[in-house]
Structure 1
């Protein structure tokens, strides 16, 4: 008679426990143990519990291969979340026997049977027993039936086949606490929105810019209040091009675009008095933010009133004393009498309104492209492919799983609540409805894999030397740390490039990514084969970087930069001005979002940009998918490097009135959860 101690860990979130019957069977190379009922239903498997049992076998079962869990209904159905099962010989270990951990981190729903692999990561070639290979195949067949591809709209990355979050499997849904907090936060924001609208409706509406202060109630932040005080200043406009909610647009130029006829005389007063425009172009001190992608996008209609869109060009200069400042703005892609070039020396209200139009374009590009498309939708492709093509025992699955947590649900909620035909964007954003799909399609057609890699992106945009570009500096530090971590993990499991190329599950995964998820994207540049450890390490680093650092850079500050509505307006209610001298305060107030739109912009950016109470910081792994010592050592080095980055950023910002802390590792979440 052989006996084993079996420890079964129940999840720690609300409703993880169960009062149903739970059975366990140990499956070995030479047979199976007794099918054992684990104690009395209702007494064990409480939330957060680790319960201990004894499992017997009449004869030796040999090397332990699988743990089979079964759940059966007792009175009423009661789902159960299992974290892991740990098995050890009941007597003193002999002959090298040791405790084995079988990670689960899954829900058992209904009367169901689930078989778990031991935690050591195994590639296809590492499994030689038919039982284990059949287990891999069966797991993937089940997952491919559950997780299917869908084209939500033509010309954008494919997504999970789910009409709403309710269609998702419980394994990829929010925990109950997360769901309650998400819905409670939205409810709170909308209640304050309603109260503001009620309070203001019977008083005066927007007459001047100070009126926007009337919607700053409990929803506020130090940066948002700093924005309120400094948003008109040119240096602050330039700062936001570097470190604001969309810091990826600015690029260095050496000649003025043909459709932006800025002359040296126009900008001479904005340059250092010792130089000229041509000298500064040659020296690499002139930069451009170009929103050509907005040209011709269909504008939204809100409450029967057409909204307006512009496609500005903004020229910026790195002044030796004043920093990066705007020196010329054109509010359309076609120059002419109706599209004047606005300059800092123009009437102050005209220059201010021109900057508002640039910031309005910034809101559209930031929300739809930099945030939604280039993080949420890109990462969803890898999430779906990982669930479809990599078994839980595969090292790449174990590596990516913590970085894909909650992404499918938040994206489903985004498609139904935010960007749908009757969602929040349609109610308040100038590109809501048809426009945001057009915008996404344009960006997707020209999206390049290398642009998702920060070092390539900064080099291609020529912004390597821009001072106080904290987004660039911190992104590169995090990219290097992530790449070092990923390549270290890849080297643990792949000794040669050939092993990468000959891994059939890995090749099926990259094929699913490129042929299904990123179909119809001619310039993307990601091969449908993985031929080396470097290629694999780079790709996995891109996935983790996009789901952590890049998402944090665009998501976490959206309330800070957008709460003061004139700084980053979600919509514009009148067309761009064609006469500089005709701009009045009344024109500006009639152009900016109205009371309702302003309140909703503030409420939703607070809801989506706030710190999540259940956030798992970058590099922290609450679910222990890996059990090998070498893997844990790589993780520890990663965490130590992140700690050094944290200390550097904190020290760098010490004494600064405006701190760039969006990429502090402790502020970067491990996955896209909001």
Structure 2
């Protein structure tokens, strides 16, 4: 007879404990143990419990364990959440089995020993069978659904409550999310604003919405939103820093001339274009999109072109705005030298267009929907024992749940965006499809994207500065992990699971569009490293950059109108404060937008910052050391950002690692 010592670590989370009976079976290279009862009493939350049981003989090197949980007629069926199981063999070897998922009363669960294995590393039939069985089960659990033509596929589910437990919000996150939403709506109900369809009677009246829910930056925006400097600053360091590009030749449909614009220092537009001091935002993606009808009123969505100039003092300023793509007599080019309300109205139409382009393309498509594709493909194609699964699974936390919530509460038939945004309704899926058709792999990789937009030398571009630092740190971390497991290009090529994963992403995320440049297979280690870096950066840093400042810049509604209910002026000199108030969204639409902004900008108390790995999916020394090095480098960057921000009038905090969540979780 030989003894095995089993130590069970139960997760320290709400409802992780169980009153049910838990059984274990050990499977090794030389056989398997009997199914053995572990607990006779309750397994408590956060507990570490050790059990000893006998086998008739050693079963060799352990390959996997089988866990099952059964409730008696006297006890309720309560799910159990173990973090890991450690087994000490009679020979003195210690085996660690990462779990980090819910165990229910319906089936037997199999978990592999923690050492990462590629498919061609399997040398035992039990391991091969468990690997195959796991992926078959996952393909049934995580199915694909085509929500709309031309849009990335999503998880097959009917709301967050139908998702598997392991991908849903924790109890804490769920309660806090509902409380934050309820708190905001309650305040609005008390003020009688949520049902008021009246227009605002003054700009000052808006200051009383969410009077106790403000940030330092939201206050600053409220006080400076009319300034050209803040208007331009947001295209570099606001919530949508991914559209602006250097402009050396004006688009043919934007006929701005030298005599239209004033350039300080005696220069002119033609010279400044040649010098590389002119920048462009082109909202052609929105051209021709049918604007929504909100509360029975036709809304308006423009596709502007905006020209910026870098002054000799390195400050960016807007110098020309055209609100529609096709030049015409009734489509004037607005200038800073026009009357105040003409210029302000033009900027408001730009910011409303920017709201739609930011929310649907930069935010929803390029972070939420792509992160969902990465998550579902990972769950369907890579088993838990695979090194890429261990590397990437922390960066999928809560993504499927938050996206299911978004489909119900934001972009579903009765969602806030659908009902109240100018780009809701028919335009929503049309914009997403057009955006996906023009997406490129290079645009998802920040070094390539910055180079393609020719923005390497722009001063005061903190999104670029912080983003490139983070990309390089992530790249170094990913490189270390992947090169630990893949010693040659040939090993990458023969990993059939890895190749199946990238094909799944190409087919379901990018709808097999070769022109996107998304790889269909991996031929080299370096290709794999870059792609995995992009996945982590997208799911953490890029999402933080386009999400975390939504309330800061959107709480003052005229700076980011969700919709506009009057058409733009067709000639100059026809605007006033009264026409602006008639154009801006009414009271109830305003507060609906602000409620969503507030909710989506609040991290929960179980927020996991980038580089923190509370779940130990890796058990080997090298990848665990690489994780610690990764975190240390991120801590250094956080300190650098904090020091820089002390000297800035508007601190840029969205890519501070301590503010970046590991995954798309909000």
Distance 2:341 2:510 in 1: 45
* Preserved CA contact (<8 Å) 1:73 1:111: no
Q: CA deviation at 1:64?
A: 1.5
- 1:73 is the counterpart of 2:61: no
Distance 2:411 2:114 in 1: 40
SS at structure 2 position matched to 1:581: coil
TM-score of the superposition, structure 2-length normalised?
Answer: 0.98
Distance 2:432 2:57 in 1: 62
Distance 2:322 2:171 in 1: 49
SS at structure 1 position matched to 2:7: strand
Distance 1:245 1:615 in 2: 20
Any stretches of 5+ residues in structure 1 without a counterpart?
A: none
Distance 1:103 1:669 in 2: 22
SS at structure 1 position matched to 2:310: strand
| Equivalent in the alignment of 2:333 | 341
Q: CA deviation at 1:321?
A: 2.6
SS at structure 1 position matched to 2:102: strand
* Preserved CA contact (<8 Å) 2:26 2:62: yes
| Equivalent in the alignment of 1:187 | 182
Which of residues 536, 556, 564 is equivalent to 2:556? Answer: 564
- 1:380 is the counterpart of 2:362: no
Q: CA deviation at 1:618?
A: 0.3
Which of residues 107, 113, 119 is equivalent to 2:102? Answer: 107
Q: CA deviation at 1:522?
A: 4.0
- 1:235 is the counterpart of 2:229: yes
| Equivalent in the alignment of 1:197 | 192
Q: CA deviation at 1:276?
A: 1.5
Distance 2:574 2:104 in 1: 66
SS at structure 1 position matched to 2:520: coil
Q: CA deviation at 1:205?
A: 5.7
* Preserved CA contact (<8 Å) 2:145 2:154: yes
SS at structure 2 position matched to 1:288: strand
638-647 vs 580-589, which moves further:
638-647
Which of residues 206, 210, 214 is equivalent to 2:204? Answer: 210
Any stretches of 5+ residues in structure 2 without a counterpart?
A: none
Q: CA deviation at 1:503?
A: 0.6
| Equivalent in the alignment of 1:13 | 13
| Equivalent in the alignment of 2:249 | 255
| Equivalent in the alignment of 1:144 | 139
Q: CA deviation at 1:380?
A: 1.0
1:386-535 paired onto structure 2 within 5 Å: 386-535=378-527
* Preserved CA contact (<8 Å) 2:194 2:591: no
* Preserved CA contact (<8 Å) 2:301 2:422: yes
Q: CA deviation at 1:671?
A: 0.4
Q: CA deviation at 1:192?
A: 1.8
SS at structure 1 position matched to 2:86: strand
Distance 2:559 2:285 in 1: 21
Residues 463-517 of structure 1: CA distance to partner in whole angstroms, max 9, x if unpaired?
A: 1111101001111000001111101100110011110011111111111111233
Distance 2:207 2:346 in 1: 22
Distance 1:447 1:199 in 2: 37
| Equivalent in the alignment of 2:361 | 369
- 1:649 is the counterpart of 2:644: no
| Equivalent in the alignment of 2:37 | 37
Q: CA deviation at 1:197?
A: 3.1
Distance 1:388 1:89 in 2: 33
Distance 1:331 1:198 in 2: 31
| Equivalent in the alignment of 1:131 | 126
* Preserved CA contact (<8 Å) 1:88 1:100: yes
SS at structure 2 position matched to 1:34: coil
Q: CA deviation at 1:201?
A: 5.5
- 1:284 is the counterpart of 2:284: no
Q: For the aligned residues, what is the CA RMSD?
A: 1.5
Residues 250-279 of structure 1: CA distance to partner in whole angstroms, max 9, x if unpaired?
A: 011111111111110110x2x122311111
TM-score of the superposition, structure 1-length normalised?
Answer: 0.97
- 1:664 is the counterpart of 2:659: no
| Paired positions, count | 664
Which of residues 149, 155, 177 is equivalent to 1:154? Answer: 149
Which of residues 116, 126, 135 is equivalent to 1:121? Answer: 116
